């Protein structure tokens, strides 16, 4: 039998000040999380700085790679800074005034907005339909899932080159259409500015379908199967079940896909560069806002980082505005 | 209490961010003493005095996409240099040289971490010179010009921010410029292959003959004007930019409108694939398939055809690129520069001169894996270039380039990519018939000036 030893009489509220027997804990011990000898562990975990300590790496990364560049861009937009450095002078709102009267800026804005307006709805719906198709566990369905996902893994440059080859005047698409007697002369996919823009959108969609299909596959798992069964028994067809059960069931995922695609669409660059070359299509007619930022802000010889930053801020405002608008519309619909 | 702490923390972060952002605005490292491009440097690296000091220390040497094929050659050069200069060591790095090269190199320069000796193209050298990041080699070693072909050296100049003409680059190697064509296709079109056209418009007239004979079955050349601007204009001695480089002046020359009108006419008549207007300007694939009559303008291309398409190689002819008003060929070579921010500038300068001397240039040009030409007089006099035997197209190309390099210049109008794209875009519109040639040239100049103006 263990020998009884004298214990301190517990006093309410005294645990915070009661010194532990033995030597005083080291500074490291005191800083490190976890209960010190004799101390109440829960109290230690309530130290105000502990959450900050755990989140410090993430906050550090966010500040260095997100917050700082953002504020730096904001500040630069009021200057005439050059990409090669040197003294930057404060120019007030000059860059923003110039932007409002710059026809090339508005052309790039039109292209970016158009890109988002066409790509976002398609990117929200098409991968969902694809996910519904491949959701069922049929023999060989894994092959189709993998096949649809493959473009996601391919490099944008490789995909762009493949599409160039497909869409050339003597490429696969025109050759097939001509052989099928659907067209007489080649469709100028790569020399007409509207067709270049539409082809670039097609490329974005094709490359993104597989990625968002995986999102939806995960979301579809949460849609109760009983609802489908009940609706089917009540005579609802596949299309009706899709619109009234599947779509509401994955609404949150659709919202996420819409937001991500919207942001991505407004930032599109590679597709336009691959299909429209360094000018951004003939006459630069297919340039999007990131393309325009590269031209006016980043060129080492003639770039104006201040003006480029002002256009970047406009792009940010546009992205934020469209995202908030989409959220509001969704909320109104839900209400 | 918590709210107070949170407010304090957020305020702290904001202060840090804004302070850092403020630093971002000032650019470069401050402080007194000598500076180059905003970086603190040794006094000897700047100013008008000759560079002196021991050739001792460790430097970094950066090439562009050469390590894979020429690793043993450059390691040998480095070993020889280190042997000749005990105490000096060279670390070799190789940049992939993709289309972000200039941007990345500029970022290195801004961070004061430019490699000590660096292989540059004309565009990047122009940008770095303007910002003061490169050593003025002509000043830092008055004898540096001696090995180079005089015309090449004299034209290997850049413009400093002050407007002064400086030698911040050593001409290293060049690919050469020749006219390459499919003799069968040209004969069908009635083009005389025994005599190359002497002017750019003469060449355009031959393109037109090809278009009329081909009727869409094959083409003369590619449509994207990006590789002709400003190269064609330089050859025609059309002034693209003003002397100080701060404004575009090409519209003042009536031949520019004629040039654009020719391009529009050729595009309309089917001398160029319609879909190449704003896509690839590389004729290699179509030429190798016998679908384009004129190939790329360098001997390396001739070797490419020899290796990849022997049947087309058998029909390939090589001629002189039209000299036009200039009277000789012109085009920027690859350059070697020394960073003004180098901590061991004497070592870097010595290595740059060692690498580009006649012995090393000749040795590299003899490497069977490469088709490049040297820029030193002694190298060009080497029997390897003077006694080229054989009558095949590749030998013809090498003979032509070796001959023309004795009078060639490195002069090239350095347009920034943005300015070049702005001009090219307007020419494309004229080629599509959406604008007249005159209007396109006028608009191109206005767009170019807008960009040049914002650069200050």
A94-334 maps to which CATH number?
A: 1.10.3720.10
Is the same domain home to B313 and B343?
A: no
pLDDT of B93 reads 95
Is residue B35, in this structure, part of any structural domain at all?
A: no
Alpha helices in A180-304 (DSSP H): 193-220, 225-233, 238-241, 247-249, 251-266, 270-276, 289-293
How far is the alpha carbon of B103 from chain A, nearest alpha carbon, in Å?
Answer: 7
Instruction: Among B401, B424, B439, give the residue marking a domain's end.
Output: B401
Query: Which residues in chain A have Cβ-Cβ distances shorter than 8 Å to B16?
Result: 63
User: B85-110 pLDDT, tens per residue?
Assistant: 999 999 999 998 877 888 889 888 98
User: B213 and B187, same structural domain?
Assistant: yes
For residue B319, give the DSSP letter: E
pLDDT at site A141? 85
Are A169 and B275 in contact (CB < 8 Å)? yes
Q: How confident is the model at residue B332 (pLDDT cuts 50, 70, 90)?
A: confident
A52 contacts in chain B (CB < 8 Å):
9
Return mean pLDDT, chain A: 85
The answer, yes or no, to whether residue B271 has pLDDT greater than 90, is yes
Nearest CA in chain A to B107: A84
- Tell me how close the Cα of A55 comes to any Cα of chain B, in angstroms: 13
In a domain, B17, yes or no: no
Distance CA B232, CA B204 (A): 11
What pLDDT is attached to residue A197? 96
> Do B17 and A71 make contact, defined as CB atoms within 8 angstroms?
yes
Residues of chain B found within 8 Å of residue A80, distances taken between Cβ atoms: 454, 456
- B155 shares a domain with B205: no
Residues B308 and B272 in one domain: yes
Kindly report the backbone phi and psi dihedral angles of residue A80, in degrees, each rounded to the nearest multiple of 5, phi listed first.
Answer: -110, 40
Contact between chains at A283 and B20 (C-beta distance less than 8 A): no
List, for residues A268-285, the tens digit of each pLDDT value: 999 999 999 889 999 999
Cα distances from A332 to residues A117, A260, B17, in angstroms, run 20, 20, 37
Q: Quick check: A301 and B123 CB within 8 A?
A: yes
pLDDT in tens, B228-242: 999 999 999 999 999
Q: Which of residues 400-419 of B touch A (CB under 8 A)?
A: 414, 416-419
Distance CA A261, CA A250 (A): 16
Taking the Cβ of residue A52 and every Cβ of chain B, the question of whether any pair is shorter than 8 Å is answered with yes
Q: What is the pLDDT of residues A220-273, one digit of tens each?
A: 988 888 888 898 888 888 888 888 888 888 888 998 999 999 999 999 999 999
First-to-last alpha carbon distance for chain B, in angstroms, is 52
Is it the case that residue A13 has pLDDT exceeding 50? no
Predicted pLDDT at A41: 61
Q: State the smallest CA–CA distance between residue B254 and chain A in angstroms.
A: 22
Percent of chain A at pLDDT above 70?
A: 85
Predicted confidence at residue B27, as pLDDT, reads 37
What's the pLDDT score for residue A12?
Answer: 44
* Residues 97-116 in B contacting A (C-alpha not used; CB under 8 Å): 102-103, 106, 109-110
Indicate the number of domains in chain B. 2
The HSE-up count of residue B320 (CA atoms within 13 Å, CB side) is 21
pTM for this entry = 0.82
Residue B13 lies in a domain: no
Q: Across B71-222, where does the E strand assignment appear?
A: 88-95, 117-120, 158-159, 165-166, 170-174, 178-182
Average the pLDDT over each of B24-28, B33-37, B68-72 and give the range with the smallest value: B24-28
Q: Answer whether B27 sits within 8 Å of A81, measured CB to CB.
A: yes
CB distance A307–B275 less than 8 Å?
Answer: no
Rounded Cα gap, residues B168 and A167, in angstroms: 45
Q: Between the CA of residue B151 and those of B147, B148, B241, B335, B364, what are the distances in Å?
A: 12, 8, 21, 15, 22
Higher pLDDT, A53 or A85: A53
End-to-end CA distance of chain A: 69
Cβ pairs A/B, distance under 8 A: 160
State residue A299's pLDDT score: 87
Within this chain, do residues B210 and B278 fall inside the same structural domain, yes or no? Answer: yes
Record the tokens describing residue A8, joined without a space: 């301190």
Interface of B with A in 239-258 (CB under 8 A): none
pLDDT tops 70 at residue A176: yes
Task: Go through B129-154 and write b for each residue having 16 or more CB atoms within 10 A of its CB, e for each that does not.
Answer: bbbbbbbbbbbbbeebbebbbebbbe
Q: In which element (H, E) is residue B8 found?
A: helix B2-26
Q: Same domain, yes or no, for B100 and B209?
A: no
> Which three-class secondary structure state does DSSP give residue A172?
helix
Q: CA of B80 to nearest chain A CA: how many angstroms apart?
A: 36
Q: Which residue has the higher pLDDT, B4 or A107?
A: A107
ipTM: 0.79
The answer to the question of residue B133 being in a domain is yes
DSSP letter (8 states) at residue A242: I
Residue B186 and residue B300 in one domain: yes
**Rounded to an integer, what distance in angstroms lies between the CA atom of residue B38 and that of residue B337?**
18
Residue B22 placed within a domain: no
Identify the closest residue of chain A to B453 by CA–CA distance. A302
Cβ distance of B27 and A85 shorter than 8 Å? yes
Tokens describing residue B132: 């003061």
Per the CB < 8 A criterion, the answer to whether B251 and B445 are in contact is: yes
Which chain A residue's Cα is nearest to B417?
A299
Alpha-carbon span B387 to B346, nearest angstrom: 38
Chain A positions in Cβ-Cβ contact with residue B429 (cut-off 8 Å): 282-283
- Concatenated DSSP letters of A298-332: I-TTT--HHHHHHHHHHHHHHHHHHHHHHHHHHHH
B367/B443 same-domain check: no
Among A78, A301, A303, A310, pick the best mutation site for testing chain B contact (most B Cβ within 10 A): A301
- Picking from B10, B25, B128 by the largest number of A CB atoms within 10 A of its own CB, the best residue to mutate is B25
CATH code of residue B114: 3.40.190.10
Q: Is B110 within 8 Å of A300 when comparing Cβ atoms?
A: no
Which sign does the torsion angle of CA B52, B53, B55, B58 carry? negative
Per-residue pLDDT tens for B32-57?
A: 478 887 888 888 888 888 888 889 99
Q: Give A-chain residues touching B433 at CB under 8 angstroms.
A: none
Q: B-contacting residues of A 60-99, CB under 8 Å?
A: 63, 67-68, 71-72, 74-76, 79-88
Residue B393 φ/ψ, nearest 5 degrees: -55, -40
Nearest-by-Cβ selection for A300 from B37, B106, B280: B106
Q: Model confidence over B420-451: pLDDT tens digits? A: 999 999 999 999 999 999 999 999 999 999 99
What number is the average pLDDT over the span A319-334?
Answer: 82
Asked if A278 has any chain B CB less than 8 Å from its own CB, the reply is yes
Listed by number, the residues of chain A in 124-153 with a beta carbon closer than 8 Å to a beta carbon of chain B are none
Which residues of chain A does CATH 1.10.3720.10 include?
94-334
The C-alpha atoms of residue B364 and residue B371 are separated, in whole angstroms, by: 10
**Averaged pLDDT score across all residues of chain B:** 88
Question: Is B59 a domain residue?
Answer: yes
Instruction: Identify all chain A residues contacting B5, using CB atoms and an 8 Å cutoff.
Output: 48
Q: Which domain holds residue B211?
A: 178-328+416-455
Residue B300 resides in a domain: yes
| Band of pLDDT at residue A25, cut at 50, 70 and 90 | low
B272 and B342, same domain (yes or no): no
Residues 166-195 of A with CB under 8 A from B: 167-169, 186, 188-191
Answer whether residue B452 shows pLDDT above 90.
yes
Q: Does A156 touch chain B (CB under 8 A)?
A: no
Number of helices followed by number of strands (H, E) in chain A? 17, 0
B434 and B394 in one domain?
no
| Side-chain half-sphere exposure of B270, counting CA atoms within 13 A | 12
Average pLDDT over residues B378-400: 86
Of B27, B277, B452, the CB nearest to A302: B452
Residue appearing with tokens 């490789």? A158
Q: Do A301 and B455 touch (CB under 8 A)?
A: yes
Contact assignment for B432 to A282 by CB distance below 8 Å: yes
The answer to whether the beta carbons of residues B220 and B271 sit under 8 Å apart is: yes
Asked whether the beta carbons of A255 and A330 are under 8 A apart, the reply is yes
Q: Do residues B195 and B236 both lie within one domain?
A: yes
How far is B274 from B33, CA to CA, in rounded Å? Answer: 58
Q: Kindly list the residues from chain A whose CB atom is less than 8 angstroms away from the CB atom of residue B37.
A: 84-85
| Class of residue A158 by CB neighbours under 10 A (exposed 0-12, middle 13-18, buried 19+) | exposed
Query: What token pair was written down for B374?
Result: 């040297």
For B96-154, write each residue's pLDDT tens digit.
887 788 888 988 898 899 999 999 998 899 889 988 999 999 999 999 999 999 988 99
* B103 and B158 inside one domain: yes
Please compute the mean of the pLDDT values over residues A168-189 and round it to a whole number.
Answer: 93
A63 vs A331: which has the higher pLDDT: A63
Chain B residues inside the 8 Å CB shell of A88:
25-27
Is B158 a domain residue?
yes
The pLDDT of residue A43 is 66
């Amino acid at each position: 039998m263990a020998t009884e030893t004298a214990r301190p009489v517990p006093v309410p509220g005294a645990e915070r000040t009661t010194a532990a027997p033995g030597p005083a804990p080291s500074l490291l011990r005191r800083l490190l999380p976890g209960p010190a000898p004799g101390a109440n562990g829960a109290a230690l975990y309530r130290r105000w700085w502990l959450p900050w300590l755990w989140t410090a790496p993430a906050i550090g990364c966010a500040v260095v790679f997100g917050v700082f560049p953002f504020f730096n861009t904001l500040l630069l937009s009021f200057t005439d800074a050059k990409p090669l450095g040197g003294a930057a002078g404060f120019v007030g709102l000059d860059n923003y005034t110039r932007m409002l009267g710059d026809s090339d800026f508005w052309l790039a804005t039109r292209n970016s907005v158009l890109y988002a307006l066409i790509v976002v709805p398609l990117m929200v719906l098409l991968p969902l339909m694809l996910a519904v198709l491949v959701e069922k566990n049929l023999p060989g369905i894994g092959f189709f899932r993998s096949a649809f996902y493959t473009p996601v893994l391919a490099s944008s440059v490789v995909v762009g080159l493949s599409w160039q080859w497909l869409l050339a005047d003597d490429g696969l698409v025109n050759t097939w259409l001509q052989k099928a007697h659907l067209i007489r002369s080649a469709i100028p996919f790569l020399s007409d500015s509207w067709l270049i823009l539409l082809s670039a959108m097609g490329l974005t969609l094709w490359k993104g379908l597989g990625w968002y299909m995986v999102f939806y596959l995960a979301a579809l798992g949460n849609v109760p199967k009983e609802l489908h069964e009940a609706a089917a028994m009540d005579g609802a067809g596949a299309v009706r079940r899709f619109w009234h059960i599947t779509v509401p069931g994955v609404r949150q995922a659709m919202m996420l896909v819409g937001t991500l695609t919207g942001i991505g669409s407004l930032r599109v660059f590679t597709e336009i560069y691959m299909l429209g070359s360094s000018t951004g299509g003939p006459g630069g007619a297919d340039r999007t806002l990131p393309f325009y930022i590269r031209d006016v802000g980043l060129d080492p010889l003639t770039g104006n980082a201040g003006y480029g930053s002002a256009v970047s801020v406009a792009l940010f405002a546009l992205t934020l505005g469209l995202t908030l608008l989409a959220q509001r519309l969704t909320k109104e619909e839900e209400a | 209490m918590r709210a107070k702490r949170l407010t304090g923390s957020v305020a702290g972060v904001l202060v840090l961010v804004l302070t850092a952002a403020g630093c971002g605005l000032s650019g470069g490292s401050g402080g007194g003493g000598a500076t180059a491009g905003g970086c603190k440097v040794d006094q000897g690296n700047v100013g008008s005095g000759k560079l002196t000091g021991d050739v001792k220390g460790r430097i970094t040497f950066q090439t562009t996409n050469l390590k894979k094929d020429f690793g043993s050659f450059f390691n040998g050069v480095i070993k020889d240099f280190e042997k000749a200069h005990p105490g000096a060591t060279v670390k070799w790095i190789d940049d992939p040289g993709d289309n972000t090269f200039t941007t990345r190199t500029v970022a290195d320069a801004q961070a004061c971490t430019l490699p000590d000796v660096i292989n540059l193209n004309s565009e990047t050298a122009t940008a770095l010179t303007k910002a003061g990041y490169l050593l003025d080699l002509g000043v830092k070693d008055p004898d540096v010009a001696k090995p180079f072909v005089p015309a090449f050296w004299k034209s290997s100049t850049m413009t400093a921010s002050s407007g002064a003409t400086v030698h911040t680059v050593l001409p290293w190697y060049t690919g050469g410029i020749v006219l390459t064509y499919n003799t069968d296709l040209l004969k069908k079109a009635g083009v005389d292959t025994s005599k190359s056209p002497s002017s750019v418009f003469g060449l355009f007239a031959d393109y037109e003959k090809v278009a009329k004979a081909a009727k869409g079955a094959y083409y003369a050349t590619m449509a994207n004007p990006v590789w002709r601007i400003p190269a064609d204009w330089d050859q025609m001695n059309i002034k693209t930019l003003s002397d100080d480089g701060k404004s575009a002046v090409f519209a003042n020359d009536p031949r520019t409108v004629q040039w654009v009108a020719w391009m529009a006419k050729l595009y309309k008549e089917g001398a160029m694939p319609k879909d190449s207007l704003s896509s690839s300007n590389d004729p290699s694939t179509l030429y190798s398939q016998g679908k384009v009559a004129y190939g790329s303008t360098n001997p390396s291309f001739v070797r490419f055809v020899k290796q990849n398409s022997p049947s087309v190689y058998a029909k390939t002819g090589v001629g002189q690129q039209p000299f036009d008003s200039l009277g000789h060929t012109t085009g920027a070579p690859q350059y070697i520069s020394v960073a003004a921010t180098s901590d061991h500038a004497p070592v870097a300068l010595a290595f740059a001169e060692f690498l580009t001397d006649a012995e090393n240039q000749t040795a590299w040009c003899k490497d069977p894996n490469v088709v490049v030409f040297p820029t030193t007089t002694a190298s060009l006099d080497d029997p390897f270039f003077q006694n080229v035997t054989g009558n095949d197209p590749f030998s013809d190309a090498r003979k032509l380039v070796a001959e023309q390099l004795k009078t060639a210049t490195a002069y090239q109008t350095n347009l920034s990519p943005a300015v070049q794209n702005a001009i090219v875009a307007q020419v494309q519109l004229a080629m599509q018939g959406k604008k007249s040639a005159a209007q396109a040239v006028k608009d191109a100049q206005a767009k170019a000036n807008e960009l040049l103006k914002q650069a200050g």
